[in-house]
Amino acid sequence: MDIAALITWVVTALGGFYMLGTWIRRGGIRQQQSGTSRLPAPVLFGHFALAAIGLVVWIIYVVADKSALAWTAFGLLLPVALLGFVMLARWIPVYRDRAAVAATPAAATAQGADGSVPAERHFPLPVVLAHGLFAVVTLVLVLLTALGIGGS
């Protein structure tokens, strides 16, 4: 089960890297000053950093098979999940606005003062959904492994 968790964690990370790259490439960092982006950089980068640290801890756990490392990785995943839910809640209105703009261009309410759109509007829905689904599966697999269910 520890290898399955590692695989789902890596797949989750790939989706996260894609979205982070998209956010940066589309001007998310610059949009922090103008208030256009709804994803605060500290939340986004905190989510990324804690998830990356947790993944490293999990890799060490897979090699060393020490229970304390499994619980440490799980403990790191809890704030990662919380920050992920915060970002999802802030992203949903941006996604809904994109759908509204596609239906009626006059409904562009989530644009910045300069007419720019939030960088996170460019996240593909399948990537967001897959990232969240794999994240939940990873959290469950890490917990089950830490509990000793399913072997290590």
pTM: predicted TM-score of the whole model, two decimal places:
0.86
Phi, psi of 109 (to 5 degrees): -85, -20
DSSP one-letter string for 20-84: HHHHHHTTTTTHHHHT--SS-HHHHHHHHHHHHHHHHHHHHHHHH--HHHHHHHHHHHHHHHHHH
Reduced to 3 states (helix: H, G, I; strand: E, B; else coil), residue 130 is helix
Q: Digits of tens for pLDDT over the chain (152 positions)? A: 999 999 999 999 999 999 999 999 999 999 988 888 999 999 999 999 999 999 999 999 999 999 999 999 999 999 999 999 999 999 999 999 876 666 555 544 555 545 578 999 999 999 999 999 999 999 999 999 999 997 64
Distance from C-alpha of 114 to C-alpha of 69, rounded to nearest angstrom:
48
Structure confidence at residue 53 (pLDDT) = 98
Instruction: Scan for tokens 């261009």, then name that residue.
Output: 105
Structure confidence at residue 97 (pLDDT) = 86
Instruction: Scan for tokens 């960088």, then name that residue.
Output: 119
Instruction: Scan for tokens 């789902």, then name that residue.
Output: 8
